[in-house]
Amino acid sequence: MQGTVDGFSYGLVTPLVAYVMACLGGALGLRCTTRALLVAHSWRPGWLALGSAAIGSGIWTMHFIAMMGFSVAGAPIHYDKPMTYASLAIAVVMVGVGIFIVGYKGATGTALFTGGTITGLGIASMHYLGMAGMRFNGTFEYNTLTVACSVAIAMAAATAALWAAGQVRGFLWSVGASLVMGLAVTGMHYTGMAALSAHLHTDGTPSAGDSPAGLVAPMLIGPLAFLCLAGVVVLFDPLMVMGKPDWTPVEHKPGVPAHPPAPHPSRRAHLHTRRKVAHRASRTPQNR
């Protein structure tokens, strides 16, 4: 039996809040990625890891806030918690792989395409693994073409966002990129939901269950707390707004060493002796 699917049980409240969370996670993650490109290599892994966790947590939180407004008539929804948290892990890991590629290889060419593709696939994998963790008296079916469109949106959004993060053009640039990324990620989510249809099982009677909001809200406490912590780290970092590096690169001409070679020890001793002799001669009165 065909089930009636409603993705907007609370009207525009859940889409708007989901979009805000996607923007927040994107803003924190992209700013950390930009920050990683401005520091010495010893600090870079930490900033990239923080950025990966922020983006992964942001899109996961966005997905499940949006799912608070999802319902199937006559079929209470439950969530398989191990699979639900596995979707968070795969989001953080795959987004992290993409961000580390861009963080070390640069946001251009093959590195940007590879990093954006992996990050986009991580976003899509999080979405569909999270959907696979839903339990109700029926089954979901997907339209293949619409699913492919949702994956393409995720890949394009991730590539554009990583490119923007690699430009290192200041705080407002990253904010604009996060707004675009939030729109694209939220659009990817609802495109994927448009590919969905539910078929209810006729055997058995629907049982009472908790509302989706009551089931999902406790799961969001941890990621939301992490996003708040990441926000504190970003806001209190002195270079987050200024966007200036900790070091000043030294420009040098091609073929010329960045640092001139030091003279040989014997040569240094000879030069030192000549300076001492010249100094004494300058202090000796001239014979008239």
Q: What is the pLDDT of residues 214-252, one digit of tens each?
A: 667 777 788 888 888 887 777 766 555 444 444 344 344
Residue found under tokens 């202090």: 283
Residues forming beta bridges with residue 198, ordered by sequence position: 3, 140
The half-sphere exposure of 265 on its side-chain side, counting CA atoms within 13 A, is: 0
- Please report the pLDDT score of residue 282 as a whole number: 60
- Please report the pLDDT score of residue 178 as a whole number: 83
DSSP E strands: which ranges in the chain?
A: 2-3, 5-6, 71-72, 78-79, 134-135, 138-142, 196-200
Distance (Å, whole) CA 223 – CA 88: 9
- Please report the pLDDT score of residue 229 as a whole number: 81
Give the closest residue to 2 by CA, choosing from 136, 135, 140, 204: 140
Q: What is the CA radius of gyration of the chain?
A: 28
Task: Say if residue 217 is exposed, middle or buried (CB neighbours under 10 Å; 0-12, 13-18, 19+).
Answer: middle
- Please report the pLDDT score of residue 243 as a whole number: 46
pLDDT at 259 over 80: no
- Please report the pLDDT score of residue 284 as a whole number: 56
Distance (Å, whole) CA 62 – CA 193: 14
Q: Tens digit of pLDDT for each residue in 149-185? A: 999 999 998 888 888 777 756 667 777 888 888 888 8
Task: Say if residue 49 is exposed, middle or buried (CB neighbours under 10 Å; 0-12, 13-18, 19+).
Answer: middle
- Return the amino acid letter for 276: K
User: How would you label 180-200 residue by residue, b for 16+ Cβ within 10 Å and e otherwise?
Assistant: ebbebbbbbbebbbbbbebeb
182 touches 50 (CB < 8 A): no
Decide which of 147 and 5 is more confident: 147
Least confident among 48-62, 111-125, 131-145, 274-288:
274-288
- Please report the pLDDT score of residue 16 as a whole number: 93
| Mean pLDDT on 259-270 | 51
